[in-house]
Structure 1
Amino acid sequence: MLKGLTFLPSLVLAASLAMPIASAAAPHSETVVARVNGEEITLGHVIIARQTLPQQYQQLPNDVLYDAIVKQLVQQTALKQSLQGPTPQLVELSLENERRSLLAGEAIDRVMQDAATEDDVRTAYETRYADGFGGTEYNASHILVESKEDALDIKDQLDSGADFAEMAKEKSTGPSGPNGGSLGWFGEGRMVPEFEEAVKSLEPGQISDPVATQFGWHLIQLSDKRQQSAPELDAVRGELEAELREEAVGKRVVELVEAAEVEYPEIEDLSFDMIQDLDLVRN
């Protein structure tokens, strides 16, 4: 069974041999571009076929695509007409699923069209950044060593007045050591959880007790913290619009399913493996 619109190499090479049927009226979706034993193929059929082409064909010139698509549709129509008897169940079920999917997609598109107005976006922005700020940012330094004993020894020296930056340069095994252990400003989620929790518990100027992470043992000094500035509306507009549309679609689906009379009949001897058995739909 042919599925979708799959080009044969000869179609593209011989595309210039196919000529559209002349029409006096301005072309529209129902304009007939070919007939096969009286069955009409319209410009609308060509337009839809063009939209579903594999990506490698999307870059071809439209004149080549037009002729190739029309020839392919003619071939498919002739092949379809050659079938005798009722439509196979596999095909009928595939068509029902495709129709269901396309109509559901159309319903989703209609919901999404009205789900992210300018007022909705501004309301969502103001709600998310109601206090005018984003998350908290921290400016900290650390000294990284291999053992807890080393960390405790350094902590004693710091508590006795040793300079944190100088101790970091001398003792830290981390890449920030030569820079006095400075990590600069970082937001939430940038550090491993154990490190971040320790930073959050500190006040500016305070030095932590030894903190174990997958990298070793840390002594952390919090230099400062601040609230991150809220982004401009345009910088997060796309994200907010996507969230509003997703929320609207989800809400609409729940409403429709809850309002519908949905039944799940009990089926004797149903095996989940049956969903792979194509023989059940070949008749």
Structure 2
Amino acid sequence: MLKRTASAAALILALGTTPSLAQDADASTVVATVNGTEITLGEMAALRQNIPAEASAMPAEELWNLLLDEMIQQAAVASTAEGELTALDNANLANMRRDYLVRAAMERMADFEPTDEEIQAEYAKAFPADDPQVEYDADHILLESEEAANAVIEELANGTEFAVLAEERSTDPGSAQNGGDLGWFTLDRMVPEFSEAVGEMEPGTTSEAPVQSQFGWHVIKLNETRDVVPPTLEEIREPLIQQIRRERVSAEIERIAGEATIEKTEGLEPSLLDQDVLGIN
């Protein structure tokens, strides 16, 4: 996980400052004051974490001066805007602060190592032994109308080759040039109507009626099916760990939001968002 703070003593030693300062310094130690605004060692250490690796490898004194000069310049420019913040400025600052706090909280939630038992359970959930995933090898001809699709089905019944009709009639350029071949796929990769039709077909058969989807009308030929050979747990260990973390974070967010005290202001019209409440128009 990313760390937003660094040991002040370690930073000072790395930057070559005096031992006496290193003994007393912490994140609140002031390194400069610009127009009354303090810049702290903690802020400086946080900035260092966000610079490119090659810059972070600079000689200690050079890096210290680079960071401090940058922060002094930023503070000087920022001070000119402090007294002129608009409604939009304040709203954006509030949103940025909220967004940062959310991301920081989520990082803390995800900062754990799942147990071997949790990883095994996630693997079993993804690849249940009693319900193996199936892949399908199919061809299709995509047409713009039901009438055109029915005409293709009739020609197939009269002996015309599927690949020939796919090349001549299909409006799917990706598969038409390959005789309608879609290759191997799992049903979750296709639109629902197509997947439902393929799932009910037997290998070696062609759809008896056109299948409509958002793309048009399909005539489908199912060539064969096969069980998917799942990867080993070790091959996908890291993705499983990330999935466990995502699920833990999602559950924790739902819990926190569910326990929060929430009071929505009643009577406000959605059309208020169309008004120039930020004064920018």
TM-score by length of 1: 0.60
User: Deviation digits for residues 134-186 of structure 1, max 9, x if unmatched?
Assistant: 531123456789663353143144xxxxxxxx834665534334xxx765533
2:228 maps to 1:228: yes
Q: CA deviation at 1:126?
A: 0.9
Question: What's the counterpart of residue 129 of structure 1?
Answer: 127
> Are residue 218 (structure 1) and residue 219 (structure 2) matched?
yes
Aligned equivalents of 2:234 and 2:128: distance in 1?
16
Q: Structure 2 stretches of 5 or more lacking a match?
A: 1-14, 169-175
Q: CA deviation at 1:109?
A: 2.0
Match of residue 260 from structure 1: 260
Flag the 1:75–1:225 CA change in 2: closer, same or farther, 3 A.
closer
CA distance in 2, matches of 1:30, 1:97: 29
Once the two structures are superposed, the pairs formed by residues 66-215 of structure 1 within 5 Å of their partners are 66-76=64-74, 101-114=99-112, 116-131=114-129, 134-140=132-138, 148-157=150-159, 167-168=161-162, 172=166, 173=168, 174-177=176-179, 184-189=183-188, 195-209=194-208, 211=210
| Structure 1 residue 211: Cα displacement | 3.1
8 A contact 1:212–1:218 mirrored in 2: yes
Q: CA contact under 8 A between 1:151 and 1:217: conserved in structure 2?
A: no
1:127 and 1:23, CA in 2 relative to 1: closer, same or farther beyond 3 A? Answer: same
Equivalenced residue count is 243
- SS for the counterpart of 2:26 is coil
8 Å CA contact retained: 1:139, 1:224 = yes
Q: Distance in 2 between matches of 1:260 and 1:113?
A: 23
Change (3 A) 1:30 1:89: farther
Whether the 8 Å contact between 2:211 and 2:218 is mirrored in structure 1 is yes
1:182 to 1:92, Cα distance in 2 relative to 1, 3 A: closer
| Identical pairs, percent | 24
Give, in angstroms, the shift of residue 97 of structure 1: 6.0
Question: Structure 1: which amino acid aligns with 2:151?
Answer: E
Counterpart contact for 2:140–2:218, Cα < 8 Å: no
Q: Larger radius of gyration, structure 1 or 2?
A: 1
Over aligned residues, Cα RMSD in angstroms?
A: 4.7
**Alignment CA distance shift 1:193-1:27 (3 Å):** same
Unaligned runs of 5+ in 1: 1-19, 158-165, 279-283
